Structure 1
Amino acid sequence: MMNVAIIGTGAICPSHIKGYLEFQDRCKITALCDIYPEKAEAQAKEFDLNVAIYSDYKELLRQENIDLVSVCTPPYTHAAITIEALNQGKNVIVEKPMASSLKECDAMNEAAKRSGKILSVVAQNRFTSPMMKLKHVLDTKLMGPIVHTQVDSFWWRGHCYYDLWWRGTWEKEGGGCTLNHAVHHIDIFRWMNGMPSEITAVMSNVAHDNAEVEDISIAIGRYENGSLAQITSSVVHHGEEQQLIFQGKNARVSVPWKLKASKSLDNGFPVEDKELQEKLQKEYESINDLEYEGHAGQIEDVLHAIEGKKEVLVDGNEGRETLELITAIFESASLGKTVKLPLDETSPFYSREGIIENATYFYEKKTSIENFKVNEITTGGKYE
C-alpha cells in the first residue's frame, strides 16, 4: 500500500484526490499540505479523509512513510518542491506546467535521475479514449506524411481570473494561456507529431488588463520536411471548443473524431477515398476505451511504473520538451524573431530570470487576492 501526500490544495487538488480514491486497494492519501492549512482541512472534510495537515511542505517531506507526492502548487514553486521530494526519496507527480523555466526542468530531471524515483508531469488529456485512439491511428502511418496540423486550445476566463495572487505575472505564473492552458494541447500535439524545427509566434493581451501576461498567442511551427503547424492558445474564446486536426497526404483525422480521405481525379480534383476511410475507422475502433481517464488514468500509469510494471508515459523529459516548445513561442513573440529548436542554456529565455527580463509585459497586475470563494473550474478534455 503506497502512502500519498498532496502539496497544494487549490482548484486542481480535488482532481488528484478523486484520482487516488479510484485505487484505494493500492494507495492511501495520508497527508495534505497548503500554506493556507484551512484549505487543506476543507478538502479533508469534503472527501472524508483521515489525514495529517501540514503548512510547511519541507516538514511533510521529512516523513519517511510517504511514498508518492502530488505537487499542485503554483508553477514557480514546482521545481523547489519536486527536487526536495525526490531528494527525500519520494516519487512525484507534478502538475502542469512542469516548471516555469527550462533551467528548472533540467534541475528536476537531474534530481529524478540521481534519486532513481519516478517523476511524472501531469498531462491528463493524453489519458482519454479519443486521444489514445487518435494516437494509434497516426502511428499506423496510413495517412501518409503529415503536411499540416491545427491546434485550437480555446478557453475562456473572466477578467477577475487574474486577480488571484500568483496569476498574471511572469515571475509567479511564468506566462499566460500558452503556458497554463494550452500546455495540454501543445503536449498532445508534440507527443503525436514530434517537435518542429522552428517557431514563429505573436501574442497579445486583449481582454485582461490586470495581467502582465498574454491571453492569446498564435504560433506557426515548421518541420524539417516543410510541414507546418498552427497553434492558437487563448482564454478569450467563448465555448472553449478545443481540437487538434492532422492533415496527412492521404487523409485528415482529428479530435473530436472526424475522418476524411481523398484521392485525385484525373483533373486533380478530389473524390472520396472510401477504402482508406474504412481502414482508418477500423483502426480507430480497434482501441478499447480506457477504464480510467484524466487524472485517474495518469495516476494509474504512475502506480504501475512505481510497481515496476511499465515505464511512465509522461516523464520529466516529456514535460521539458512541452515547456521547450512553449518557451520558444514566448521567445519568438517577445523578441519578434523566428526561434530555432531545440533550446538550451544559450536561449535568453532558458532561466526564470531570463524570462522575467525579456518577456513582453502587457499590463501591470493591479489586484491581488489570496483565494476565491468559488472553487469550481473547467479542465477541458471533452472531445466528443
Structure 2
Amino acid sequence: MIHVAIIGAGAISSAHINSYLQFHEQCKIVAICDIYPEKAKNLAERFHLDVEIYEHYEKVVNDSTIDLVSVCTPPYTHAEIAIKLLHSNKHVLVEKPMASSLEECDAMNTAAKKTGNILSIVSQNRFLSPMMKLKAILDSKLMGPIVHTQVDSYWWRGFSYYDLWWRGTWEKEGGGPTLNHAVHHIDIFQWMNGMPKEITAIMSNAAHENAEVEDISIAIGKYDDGSLVQITSSVIHHGEEQQLIFQGKNARVSVPWKVKASKSKQNGFPEDDLEIERKIQALYLEQENLKHEGHPGQIHDVLQAVQGKKEVLVDGIQGRRTLELITAIYQSASLGKTVKLPLTADSPFYSREGLLKYATHFYEKTTSIDNFTDNTITTGGKYE
C-alpha cells in the first residue's frame, strides 16, 4: 500500500484527493498539510479522511511512513519542498507550474537524479482522450510536416481573482496566465510538436489593475524549418474557448477534434482531399478512450511508476521544457527582443532573482486576503 500525503489544502488539492481515492486498493492518504491547519482539517472532514494534520511541510518530510507526496502549494514554494521530499526518500508529484525559475527546475531534476526518486509534474490535460488521440494522429505523419500551430489558451478570471495573497505578484505567483493557465496548453504543444528555436512575444495587463503580472500575452515561435507557432495566453477571454490547431502540409487537425484536408487544383486553388480526411478520421476513431482521464489519469500513471511498472509520462525534464518556453515568452515580452532557445544559465530570466529584476511590472497589488470563502474552481475547455 502506497502511503500518500497532500501538501497544500487549496482548491486544487481536492482534485488530487478525489483521484487518489479512486485507487484505494493501491494507495492510502495518511496526511494533509497546510500553513492554515483549519483548511487541512476541513478538507479531511469533507472527504471523511482519518489522517495526520500537519502545519509545516517539514513534518511530512520527516514522516518516514509516507511514500508519495502531492505538492499543491503556490509555485514559488515548489522547489524547496520538492527537493527536501526527494532527499527524504519520497516520490513527488508537483502541481503546475513546476517552479518559479529554470534554476529551480534544474535543482529539482538534480535531486531526482541523485536520489533515484520519482519527480512528476502535473499536466493532467495530457491524460485526456482527445489529446492522446490527437498525439497519435500527429505521430502518424499522415498530416505531413507541420507548418503552423495555433495555441489558444483562453480563460476568464474576474478582478477579485488576484485578491488572494499569493496571486498577482511576480515574487509569489511567478507570472500571470502565461505561467499559471496556459502552462496546460504550452505543455501539450511542446509535447506534440517539440520546441521552437526562437520566441518573439508581447504582453499586457488589460483588465486586472490589482496585479503586477500580465493578464494576456501573445507569442510567435519559429522553427528551423520555417514553420511557426502562435500562442495566446489570457484570462480576459469570455467563454474560455480553448483549442490547439495543427496545420500540416497535407491536412489540418485540432482539439476540439476537427480534420480538414485540401489538395491543389491545376490553378493552385483548393479542393477537398477526401482520401486524406478519411484516413485521418479512421485512425482517430481507432484510438481507444482512456480508462482514467485528467488528474486521475496522471495519478494512476504515477502510482504505476512508484510500483515499478512504467516510467512516468511527465517527468521533471518535460516540466522544465514547458517552463523554458514560458520563460522565453516573459523574457522576450519584457525586454522587447527575440529570444533564442534553448535558454541557459546565462539567460537574464534563468533565476528567480532575474525574473523579479527584469519582468514588466504592470500595477501594484491592491488587495491581499488569506482565503476565499468559495473554493470551487472551473477548468475551462473540455476539448470534445
TM-score class normalised by the smaller sequence: over 0.9
Q: Aligned with 1:253: secondary structure?
A: strand
Q: For 1:92-150, what per-residue CA distance to the aligned partner results, in whole angstroms no more than 9, with x for missing partners?
A: 00000000000000000000001100000000000000000000000000100000000
> Residue 358 of structure 1 corresponds to which residue in structure 2?
358
> Residue 185 of structure 1 corresponds to which residue in structure 2?
185
Counterparts of 2:350 and 2:270 in 1: how far apart (Å)?
46
**Residue identity (%):** 72
TM-score, normalising length: structure 2 = 0.99
> Residue 327 of structure 2 corresponds to which residue in structure 1?
327
Q: Residues 221 and 145 of structure 1: is their aligned pair in 2 closer, same or farther, counting only changes over 3 Å?
A: same
Question: In 1, are the aligned partners of 2:241 and 2:381 still within 8 Å (CA)?
Answer: no
TM-score, normalising length: structure 1 = 0.99
Code of the aligned partner of 2:187: D
> Residue 255 of structure 2 corresponds to which residue in structure 1?
255
Counterparts of 2:264 and 2:303 in 1: how far apart (Å)?
49
> Residue 140 of structure 1 corresponds to which residue in structure 2?
140
Counterparts of 2:305 and 2:146 in 1: how far apart (Å)?
32
Counterparts of 2:377 and 2:237 in 1: how far apart (Å)?
16
Q: Map 1:122-141 to 2 at 5 A.
A: 122-141=122-141
> Residue 12 of structure 1 corresponds to which residue in structure 2?
12
Code of the aligned partner of 1:54: Y
Gaps in structure 1 of 5+ consecutive residues: none
Residue 184 of structure 1 deviates from its aligned partner by 0.2
> Residue 119 of structure 2 corresponds to which residue in structure 1?
119
Q: Map 1:1-384 to 2 at 5 A.
A: 1-384=1-384
Q: Aligned with 1:348: secondary structure?
A: coil
Question: In 1, are the aligned partners of 2:240 and 2:381 still within 8 Å (CA)?
Answer: no
Counterparts of 1:63 and 1:314 in 2: how far apart (Å)?
26
Residue 381 of structure 1 deviates from its aligned partner by 4.5
Q: Residues 70 and 381 of structure 1: is their aligned pair in 2 closer, same or farther, counting only changes over 3 Å?
A: farther
Counterparts of 1:77 and 1:179 in 2: how far apart (Å)?
15
Counterparts of 1:271 and 1:308 in 2: how far apart (Å)?
51
Q: Aligned with 1:107: secondary structure?
A: helix
Code of the aligned partner of 2:84: E
Code of the aligned partner of 1:175: G
Residue 172 of structure 1 deviates from its aligned partner by 0.4
Code of the aligned partner of 2:234: S
Q: Aligned with 1:247: secondary structure?
A: strand
Code of the aligned partner of 2:151: V
Q: Aligned with 1:188: secondary structure?
A: helix
Code of the aligned partner of 2:289: D
Q: Aligned with 2:4: secondary structure?
A: strand
Gaps in structure 2 of 5+ consecutive residues: none
Counterparts of 1:295 and 1:236 in 2: how far apart (Å)?
25
Q: For 1:10-64, what per-residue CA distance to the aligned partner results, in whole angstroms no more than 9, with x for missing partners?
A: 0100000011011000000000000000001111011111100000100121111
Q: For 1:174-200, what per-residue CA distance to the aligned partner results, in whole angstroms no more than 9, with x for missing partners?
A: 000000000000000000000000000
Q: For 1:270-325, what per-residue CA distance to the aligned partner results, in whole angstroms no more than 9, with x for missing partners?
A: 11111111110111111110111000000011111111111110000000000000
Question: In 2, are the aligned partners of 1:153 and 1:232 still within 8 Å (CA)?
Answer: yes
Code of the aligned partner of 2:235: V
Counterparts of 1:108 and 1:190 in 2: how far apart (Å)?
20
Q: Aligned with 2:15: secondary structure?
A: helix
Instruction: Select between 315-324 and 266-275 the one with higher mean Cα deviation.
Output: 266-275
Code of the aligned partner of 2:39: K
Instruction: Select between 302-311 and 335-344 the one with higher mean Cα deviation.
Output: 302-311
Question: In 2, are the aligned partners of 1:125 and 1:381 still within 8 Å (CA)?
Answer: no
Counterparts of 1:382 and 1:51 in 2: how far apart (Å)?
33
Counterparts of 2:162 and 2:103 in 1: how far apart (Å)?
26
Code of the aligned partner of 1:301: D
Counterparts of 2:177 and 2:169 in 1: how far apart (Å)?
12
Counterparts of 1:110 and 1:362 in 2: how far apart (Å)?
34
Residue 380 of structure 1 deviates from its aligned partner by 2.7
Code of the aligned partner of 1:166: W
Question: In 2, are the aligned partners of 1:200 and 1:337 still within 8 Å (CA)?
Answer: yes
Code of the aligned partner of 1:331: Q
Counterparts of 2:205 and 2:16 in 1: how far apart (Å)?
31
Counterparts of 1:289 and 1:18 in 2: how far apart (Å)?
21
Q: For 1:330-350, what per-residue CA distance to the aligned partner results, in whole angstroms no more than 9, with x for missing partners?
A: 000000000000001000000
Q: Considering only aligned residues, what root-mean-square deviation do their CA atoms show, in Å?
A: 0.5
Deviation beyond 2 Å, 4+ runs, structure 1: none
Instruction: Select between 52-61 and 313-322 the one with higher mean Cα deviation.
Output: 52-61
